[in-house]
Structure 1
Amino acid sequence: MQQMTPSLKSTPFSVASMCHFLCRWSLSALLLFASLHQAHANPESDAEKTTTANADVTFNRDIRSLLSSRCFACHGPDEESREAGLRLDQADGDEGAIGLAIEPGSIEDSELWSRITSDDESMLMPPPDSHLKPFSKQEQQLIRRWIESGADYEAYWAFTPPTQPKTPEVQNQGKPWSDQTIDRFVLQKLVAQGETPAREADARTLIRRVTFDLTGLPPTREEIRQFSAAYADAPETAWEELIDDLISRPQYGEHWARHWLDLVRFADTNGMHKDFYRNHVAYRDWVIRAFNDNLRYDDFTRYQIAGDLYPNPTKDQLIASGFHRLHLIIDRGTALPEESHVKNVIDRVTAVGTAFMGLTVQCAQCHDHKFDPITQKDFFSLYAFFNNIDAAPETNPKIMSDGLQEPIARWPTAKQATDLKRFDKKLADANAKLSKIEIAIAAQREKESDAGKQEIIGDALSKQSQELTLLIKEQGTLQKRMAALNRERRAVERNVEKAMVMKERDTPRETFVLIRGQYDAPGKTVPRNVPGFLPPLKKASEVASRMDLAEWFVAPENPLTARVAVNRFWLSFFGVGLIKTAEDFGNQGEVPSHPELLDELAVSFVESGWDIKALVKRIAMTKTYRQASNTSPERFKADPENRLLARGPRYRLDAEVIRDQILATSGLISTKMHGPSVKPPQPDGLWKAVSMTDERFQPDTGDSIYRRSVYTFWKRAMPPPQMTILNAPFRDACIARRERTNTPSQALLLLNESEYLRAARHLAQLALERSEDERLAFAWETVTAKLPDANEQQIMLDLLDDLQEDYLADPKLTDELCRGTALTTPEAKSELAAWTVICNTLYNLDITKTKD
């Protein structure tokens, strides 16, 4: 972790002071951490199945995933890899399972049963040399019960349009729990499992939780006080008013945009080879505005897939079409253009498949999908929609000084438009004049040549030479003038708002199935179309367009779009989706924990007019969301990922939220929105280590370094370490859900990051402005939204006394922590140094890093 140690030259104090403090940290501080640590923090582990022993076995819920993980690779949709002429992914047909491998009602007559339970390794399925995990005894019994009950195959749930389920009538231990539809579905599952909901969390926990979830920022002390008082008088009214207020704030859009930017692999560089700057700021700012303006999700989808194809596209529609320009792109001359083109289009198909379909469509680019009914033809039929872009397939840095590459849309101001028009007129006039001069020069040279041949000498030849010299001089003067005009024009052009967009070629490019996915091995031609197992595409003309595709995505009969969207929003609140595999709704994905609830949310979302803020509010208003997160060790062990939703959500905050929280609570955060990406300080040399152009990181200064993390410059080859150490993705691929790990480097980052230490000192200075008996409560409440109890206060005050003694005894160390302040006396410096470490301690508490 040495690279994270800030330089003494670049920080107001040295990390040596922090190391010194850690070495001499008192036992009381360690006890504080232990007393505040929540032993029930959720690890990232696979959820255990919650099917009760007496529940009916169903194919979709219990059997499909077992067969998919062990059998479909050889007995599934991929015709080329299919073994023994058997498909276990479907019941009927020439190769269907029923009659060939399964005899409904009889395990004795079912080859599947004998193969998965065989003691003979030559007969056992899956074969031992496949390195697949054999069926466990419990899994075998599930398959046995399914066969004996009739071996009913079901249409795959995710590929069937959702319908509105009947809201259950259910009570919590004989008493009403909630009249909200979502809560009733949750309670129905809990009751079926013999469980009960947790109590409701206290007011302070609730406001902290929902403020993080809706804005990505913590509540202020004043907001906590006001809400707590209002909640005590009228909890439901106070809760709804709080949610309405948070949703209306501009920070709402900044927070929700960040989730989408993960999904669409947004970054500020190309991500390949020399990783040049690529300006996608307009797209990022549009996403923020779209969430704040509550753009309908169906339009949010249309704009990104086909915004450029509207009859008279608006600025927002054009910017949104830049979704198709966010892929990685290689430099010119690094690969063959044909290969680069294919990679770019495949990336677009992959992004659409992940973001809007929740499927791994890219698995079918070389062969039929081994687990889902997506053929290679299906893949390249989708590919055909994105194969007609009028753009170069590679970066040309010589014409990309502003990080943009055609096609580009431009929106100059009135003055800029006038200035550009004036420059264009001057350049056109100059160019016309230059052409005339060049013609005159050529003619004059020809005259001189003719004169030389006729041996004309004297005044006539001298006059011709003088005229040629004057013409050449005039040419040079005009060329310099044109160069100056071009420089002035480029200066205006650089400040014009612009964005990389999608644009169709006039003549559609033919699309082929690429044999084995190779760019130089075209097979049969394919038309634009959607996968055959999904509802058919409706075309507005003979040749389908991306607009037809966009309308297909948001059509009522499409089974995926709404489900994928609501599951992703649910994941953002609870840390895990109703379908854990938010990126994969296919056969390899997990089954929904609450299938009827998922369908209810999807249908209601569409019926609401695809209203995102209404969906967000609906989830936040539930009793399910308001449960306390603590539980007994036994209940936690039985359901570590909280798939039953028997308690409130608790998990480590994302990297950006942790950073923004520190900036906000310290009083340093900048509220400036939109605009160019910014570069907060980071260890020197990281960019150079991955650069092929000797590029060095140059941090910004002033308020820019305190802007929210959504505006942080994202270099794909070396993303900000403050983010990636805490599991932010590199943004080189579409990520629908982040992993959460627990590593020593994360603790070292939060303890030693120079800007976090600076924030701790700023908070310490704010605390010292208060009376002595208010300081600890002020800092504690500011950071945690809680008030310290008597034991916590005593531990912290004892630690404070120890620290002040240490810093009084070590003036050099104290001066490092206080560098840049106006303090002069040893007493004042040691007090600030001690409080800085106290505030840094608060920033490293478990509760500070965790949504509770």
Structure 2
Amino acid sequence: MNFVDDRLDVISDEIDVFGSGVLGLTIKCAKCHSHKYDPIPQRDYYRLAAIFKGAYDEHDWLMPQHAGDGGKVMATRYLPYVMPGATPVQLMAEEGKREAFNRDLDREIGLVKAALEQKAEPIKKKLLDQKLAQLPPALHEDLRRMLVTPPDKRNELEKYLAEKFERILKIEPEELKRSEAGYKKEAEESERQIKLLEFRKLPEPRIRGLWDRGVPSPSYILRRGDPASFGRLVGPGVPSVLTDGKTPFEVQPPWPGSSKTGRRLALARWLIRPDHPLTSRVMVNRIWKHHFGTGIVKTLANFGNTGARPTHSELLDWLASEFVRQGWSIKSMHRLMMTSSTYRQNSTVTPVLEKMDPENLLLSRMPLKRMEAEVLNDTLLLISGRLDETPYGVPEPVLVRDDGLVTPIETEKGMRRSIYVAQRRTDTPTILENFDLPPMSPNCVERNVSTVAPQALHLMNNAMIHKLAEAFAGRVQKEAGADPENQIATAYWLALSRPPTDEEKKISLETLNRLRTEQAKQWLAKAKAEQKAEALPAGPKADVSPKLSAANTEPQEATSSALSKFCHTLMNSGAFLYID
């Protein structure tokens, strides 16, 4: 099998990601041939591919088995060191900590398995007796002895019986679950605990890295992009349209005597040259889009002839130069934009502004922007007090439920931020998928923002959202006490970062009182039904209604349920979902 074609596709994806993400240019179209009106010829495409060939060489690809075993296999060829300045003693100490941590988890797993096995023993005995009853009584004693004897210690008779009857007498886990409903529930819970404990185990120290591995194979222009049709030999270089045509692309080893090509280092240095502002323009345009919903150049990945013109070219140039002046600090650029008077505007549309700037191209008002999928998920967890803020570590597993929904698994502290949740193409958490989390194939230049029914249905009906609403209500009760006005104000501050207006406060109080009354009626009806079912004596002393009237309060369950529904409504509001 020839894997070169697949490897060239990987390199093509890398160039596509680099072009659209870093340069803001569409380069992929030059792979097969030059275009008459395109300033990037086919030659430049393969010169760029030659830069990456120091690490991505289709004829000298790193095999999977070389990458395994924690980097121990052929480590001298592929990994010059594990970590800067690490001594063997430090590495051994870290490895010892990892092994001790995993041993503790193995011990916990063993306890869970032992407890489940103990509960399964009487059920196994019952099922085994049923199966033995169908066989001749003379064999029962020998068969029981055979089943408890390890395979390597069985005598000839036991081996014969095992060959004939072991498969019939073997009791599968699913058979145990089918036989006892109570055991099935306990077994599934134990399996969930074991899965969580297994996932928490620390893996062998590995890194996913990319590095030059010596002199790469020659680079050729591929006619029509065909891997079997070689054209002219080319060297590493950058798109000629982005150079002055005089200064050559210089490639030097990273340090004297190094066997590395230095090609990617030369590319990195070229990207941040003072006379090459394209990189900084593309980056600040993306940051601007993140905050204001639309970039100064609307086509984020296309700064070329077919892309959109900048709406404020002088502003883009100033931001790009300021970005470089501040040491390419993304945090500083976020601070600069978010503390500007433009960002701090409200989104109110007035007749005057609508007439002067109908499309808001001049940013006469703050554009409404819905929270991204990860931000929405994290915010729901944050306001409910269920956000586990533990940083770093391995990805948290997801649970594929019987109804097809995919949810993150809850830890002792809650649920972790979306960035730490494991994401697979087939098992994307449902809330992230519904709110437009993009598939990275190979990358996402700009997210789609859709408004579809599953989004509203998820926030209204999903069990996890209702659970978070209950936690949100519990947090509000804890911080605000029993006063409804304080509860409403606290809920608004937590969810919207502002107090309610007078009109919102009035409507919220009416809603909360109505919900509390409805929930109290339901609670009383349920209590009466339970009393009737238990055949309690009737009469005024047995009725809970007089108790309620005498205390002049609703049951605690009704109050909590009403506040939970109010918090759930707030979580579904446009004011919560949109940044204005």
Question: Above 0.5 in TM-score?
Answer: yes
One of 773, 785, 789 as aligned partner of 2:501 = 789
CA contact (8 A) 1:579 1:593 kept: yes
Shift in Å, 1:764:
1.0
Q: Which residue of 2 aligns with 1:510?
A: 218
Decide which of 22, 33, 39 is 1:356's aligned counterpart: 22
> What are the within-5 Å matches in structure 2 for residues 355-504 of structure 1?
355-369=21-35, 372-389=38-55, 396=64, 410-411=82-83, 414-415=88-89, 417-418=91-92, 495-504=203-212
Q: Is the 8 A contact 1:340 1:394 kept in 2?
A: no
- Mapped to 2, the partners of 1:593 and 1:582 lie a distance apart of 13
Aligned to 2:433: 724
Q: Aligned-pair distance for 1:598?
A: 0.8
Give the 5 Å matches for 1:125-204. none
Distance, in Å, in 2 between the alignment partners of 1:682 and 1:602 is 45
**Contact 1:380–1:526 under 8 Å retained in 2:** yes
CA distance in 2, matches of 1:806, 1:525: 80
Supply the distance in 2 between the matched residues of 1:522 and 1:662 (Cα, whole angstroms).
55
Aligned to 1:748: 457
Deviation larger for 729-738 or 792-801: 792-801
Note the C-alpha offset of 1:371. 5.6
Partner of residue 552, structure 1: 270
Look up the match of 2:157.
Answer: none
What secondary structure is seen at the aligned counterpart in 2 of 1:664? helix
CA 420–807 in structure 1, closer or farther in 2 if over 3 Å, else same = closer
1:771 equivalenced with 2:443 (yes/no): no
Say whether 1:623 aligns with 2:341. yes
Residues 779/413 of structure 1: CA separation in 2 closer, same or farther (3 Å cut) = farther
Contact 2:408/2:429 (<8 A) preserved: no
Q: 1:807 to 1:420 in 2, by over 3 A?
A: closer
1:683-712, CA deviations, whole angstroms, 9 ceiling, x for partnerless residues? 44759xxxxxxxxx7953324652111212
State the alpha-carbon separation in 2 of the partners of residues 397 and 599 from structure 1. 48
Q: Does 1:834 align with 2:562?
A: yes
Q: Is the 8 A contact 1:340 1:393 kept in 2?
A: no
State the distance in 2 between where 1:593 and 1:764 align: 45
* 1:653 maps onto 2:361 in alignment: no
Cα gap change, 1:754/1:639 in structure 2, threshold over 3 Å: closer, same or farther?
Answer: farther
**Counterparts in 2 of 1:219-230, with a 5 A limit?**
none
Contact 1:371 1:588 in 2 (8 A): no
Unmatched tracts of structure 1, length 5 or more: 1-334, 423-492, 688-696, 816-824
CA distance in 1, matches of 2:567, 2:226: 57
1:7-63 alpha-carbon deviations (Å, 9 max, x no partner) = xxxxxxxxxxxxxxxxxxxxxxxxxxxxxxxxxxxxxxxxxxxxxxxxxxxxxxxxx
Residue 674 in structure 1 maps to residue 414 in structure 2: no
- Letter in structure 2 aligned against 1:767: V
Report the Cα offset of residue 850 of structure 1: 0.5
Partner of 2:421: 712
Query: Is the 8 Å Cα contact of residues 54 and 263 (structure 2) preserved in structure 1?
Result: no
Q: Where in structure 2 are there 5+ consecutive unaligned residues?
A: 97-200, 254-260, 528-547, 549-553
Aligned with residue 843 of structure 1, among 552, 555, 571:
571
Q: Is the 8 A contact 2:383 2:494 kept in 1?
A: yes
Q: Which has the higher contact order (CA 8 A, sep 6+)?
A: 1
Structure 1 position 713, deviation (Å): 1.2
C-alpha separation in 2, matches of 1:684 and 1:398: 39
CA displacement at 1:621 relative to structure 2:
2.8
Deviation at 1:848, TM superposition (A): 0.1
Measured in 2, the distance between the counterparts of 1:812 and 1:524 equals 86
Instruction: Provide the C-alpha distance between the structure 1 equivalents of 2:477 and 2:411, rounded to a whole number of angstroms.
Output: 24
Give how far 1:414 is off: 4.8
1:622, 1:709 → 2: CA distance? 29
Alpha-carbon offset, residue 603 of structure 1: 2.0
1:759-815 Cα deviation digits (max 9, x unpaired): 210121123331323212211222112222343233333333333344344459999
Q: Secondary structure at the match of 2:207?
A: strand
Equivalent residues in 2 for 1:314-329 (5 A)?
Answer: none
* Paired residues of 1:679 and 1:705 also in contact (CA < 8 A): no
Contact 1:540 1:548 (8 Å CA) reproduced:
yes
Residue 184 of structure 2 corresponds to none
Contact 2:237-2:249 at 8 Å conserved across structures: no
* Structure 1 residues 528 and 595, CA gap change in structure 2 (3 angstroms): same
Contact 2:24–2:301 at 8 Å: present in 1 too? yes
Find the aligned partners of 1:809 and 1:788 in 2 and give their Cα distance. Answer: 28
Answer yes or no: is 1:572 the counterpart of 2:238: no
Q: Which residue of 2 aligns with 1:733?
A: 442
| 1:767–1:603 distance in 2 versus 1, CA, 3 Å | closer
Q: Counterparts of 1:633-644 in structure 2 under 5 Å?
A: 635-636=353-354, 639=357, 641-644=359-362
SS in 2 for 1:618: helix
CA distance in 1, matches of 2:33, 2:367: 41
Tell me the distance in 2 between the aligned counterparts of 1:609 and 1:782: 35
How far 1:564 moved relative to its partner? 0.7
C-alpha separation between the residues in 2 aligned to 1:389 and 1:851?
Answer: 42
2:459–2:572 CA contact under 8 A, matched in 1: yes
What letter is aligned with 1:723?
L
Deviation for aligned residue 1:657: 1.3
Deviation at 1:367, TM superposition (A): 2.0
- Cα displacement (A) at 1:628: 2.1
- Secondary structure of the structure 2 residue equivalent to 1:499: coil
CA distance in 1 between counterparts of 2:558 and 2:87 reads 55
User: Cα gap change, 1:356/1:782 in structure 2, threshold over 3 Å: closer, same or farther?
Assistant: same
Corresponding residue number in structure 1 for 2:150: none
Aligned counterpart, 1:780: 492
Secondary structure at the aligned position of 1:513 is classed as strand
Deviation at 1:527, TM superposition (A): 0.9
Change (3 A) 1:798 1:589: same
Aligned partner letter, 1:747 = A
Counting only pairs closer than 5 Å after superposition, residues 21-32 of structure 1 correspond to structure 2 as none
Task: Tell whether 2:241 aligns with 1:530.
Answer: no
Cα offset, 1:394, TM superposition: 8.2
Give me the identity figure in percent.
29
Task: Show the counterpart of 1:596.
Answer: 314
From the superposition, tell whether residues 419 and 517 of structure 1 become closer, same or farther in structure 2 (CA, over 3 Å).
Answer: same
Question: How many Å separate the matches in 2 of 1:744 and 1:838?
Answer: 22
Query: In structure 1, how many angstroms separate the alpha carbons of the residues matched to 2:40 and 2:525?
Result: 64
Please report the RMSD computed on the Cα atoms of aligned residues, expressed in angstroms: 3.5
Determine helix, strand or coil for the equivalent of 1:524.
strand
Alignment of 1:799 with 2:525, yes or no, is no
Structure 1: how far apart are the matches of 2:392 and 2:299? 32
Alpha-carbon distance in 2 for matches of 1:784, 1:418? 49
Structure 1-normalised TM-score? 0.46
The alignment partner of 2:500 has SS state of: coil
Q: Partner of 1:523: helix, strand, or coil?
A: strand
Aligned-partner Cα distance in 1 for 2:404–2:440: 17
- Is 2:195 the counterpart of 1:521? no
CA distance in 2, matches of 1:813, 1:384: 76
538 and 388 in structure 1: CA distance in 2 versus 1, 3 angstrom threshold:
closer
CA contact (8 A) 1:402 1:494 kept: no
* CA offset digits 1:803-852 (Å, max 9, x no partner): 3344344459999xxxxxxxxx9922222222111100000110100101
